[in-house]
């Protein structure tokens, strides 16, 4: 059964680390990916729609050596950007790109400036960044550590903090070779519960913590597939 599961190409879905019981994403299409044909709801991962070309599989991932990582763009609507100024949004995009680049290099992937026949280009965009009050929609997402009681409310009041659900949406596509051909793509939304300052001083830090999860799991999964095929 384990071997059979490994043959099912779910590895790239886990690049954005969405787990648990599958739920349909209500994320709006921004237009960044251009073509959203043949995207289907993931049966394995929450709030995720995916596209996979028939000729792209675990062997394709294992053979990756050259990666062209394009800076992620920000396709943020007015409502989503209320919590951040333009400088902070640029900081988040730069942070994600820098973290991805350093972790890829640390795991012996070669970052290239131009796509080639043997390279994989990764391009993407953040399409939603929000902080949602848990009392309004916590049951719509995932189990939370937040306990809304008198003691917790008093603590938050004293420390001038608030409990929120941090939400970030992403659109990503993987382009193989030159000319670049889409072999995998996804649109996904991730939610984590966070305590942040009412002043907004910790907003960027909270989003960076969520981006760290994406980076860690992306690197973990592609290196795990590579190691599996090498043995």
In this prediction, residue 146 carries a pLDDT of 47
pLDDT band for 138, please (50, 70, 90 cuts).
very low
Taking the CB of residue 150, how many other CB atoms lie within 10 A of it?
A: 7
The pLDDT confidence band at residue 173, using thresholds 50, 70 and 90, is: very high
- Ramachandran class of 77: left when φ > 0, alpha when ψ lies in -120 to 50, beta otherwise: beta
- Distance of alpha carbon 59 from alpha carbon 78, whole angstroms: 42
Among residues 55, 72, 58, which one has the least CA distance to residue 177? 55
Highest-confidence segment of 20-29, 69-78, 80-89? 69-78
Query: Of 49 and 45, which is predicted with more confidence?
Result: 49
Please give the mean pLDDT across all residues of the chain: 75
Q: 2-230 has which CATH code?
A: 3.30.160.150
More confident residue, 19 or 194: 194
Share of the chain above pLDDT 90, in %: 22
pLDDT at 88 over 70: yes
Tell me which residue of 220, 198, 217 sits closest to 19, measured CA to CA.
217
Q: How far apart are CA 19 and CA 138, in angstroms?
A: 17
Q: What is the mean pLDDT of residues 97-109?
A: 94
What's 123-184 look like in SS3?
EEEEEEEEEECHHHHHHHCCCCCCCCCHHHHHHHHHHCEEEEEEEEEEEEEEEECCCCEEEE
- For the chain, report the end-to-end CA distance as a whole number of angstroms: 20
- For residues 10 and 61, what is the distance between their CA atoms, to the nearest angstrom? 12
Range ranked top by mean pLDDT from 169-178, 193-202, 204-213, 222-231: 169-178
More confident residue, 212 or 83: 212
Q: Please, what is the angle between helix 203-230 and helix 86-106, to 10°?
A: 20
Each domain of the chain, given as residue ranges in start order, spans 2-230
**Residue 19 pLDDT > 50:** no
pTM of the model: 0.73
Give the integer Cα–Cα distance in Å for 6 and 225.
10
The residue with greater pLDDT, 222 or 14, is: 222
Cα dist from 82 to 11, 75, 79, 170, 209, whole Å: 34, 14, 6, 18, 19
Measured CA to CA, the distance from residue 210 to residue 182 in angstroms comes to 26
């Amino acid at each position: 059964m384990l071997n059979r599961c490994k043959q099912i190409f779910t590895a790239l879905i886990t690049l954005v680390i969405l787990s648990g019981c599958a739920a349909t994403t209500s994320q709006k299409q921004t237009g960044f990916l251009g073509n959203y044909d043949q995207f289907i709801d993931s049966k394995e991962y929450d709030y995720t729609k995916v596209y996979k070309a028939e000729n792209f599989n675990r062997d394709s991932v294992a053979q990756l050596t050259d990666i062209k990582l394009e800076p992620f763009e920000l396709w943020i609507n007015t409502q989503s950007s209320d919590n951040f100024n333009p400088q902070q949004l640029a900081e988040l995009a730069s942070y994600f790109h820098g973290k991805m680049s350093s972790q890829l290099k640390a795991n012996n992937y070669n970052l290239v400036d131009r796509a080639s026949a043997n390279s994989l280009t990764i391009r993407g965009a953040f399409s939603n960044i929000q902080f949602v009050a848990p009392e309004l929609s916590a049951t719509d997402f995932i189990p939370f550590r937040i306990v809304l009681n008198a003691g917790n409310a008093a603590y938050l009041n004293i420390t001038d903090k608030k409990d929120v659900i941090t939400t970030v949406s992403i659109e990503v596509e993987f382009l193989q070779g030159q000319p670049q051909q889409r072999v995998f793509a996804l649109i996904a939304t991730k939610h984590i519960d966070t305590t942040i300052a009412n002043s907004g001083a910790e907003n960027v830090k909270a989003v960076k913590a969520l981006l760290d999860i994406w980076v860690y799991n992306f690197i973990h999964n592609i290196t795990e597939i590579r190691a599996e095929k090498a043995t």
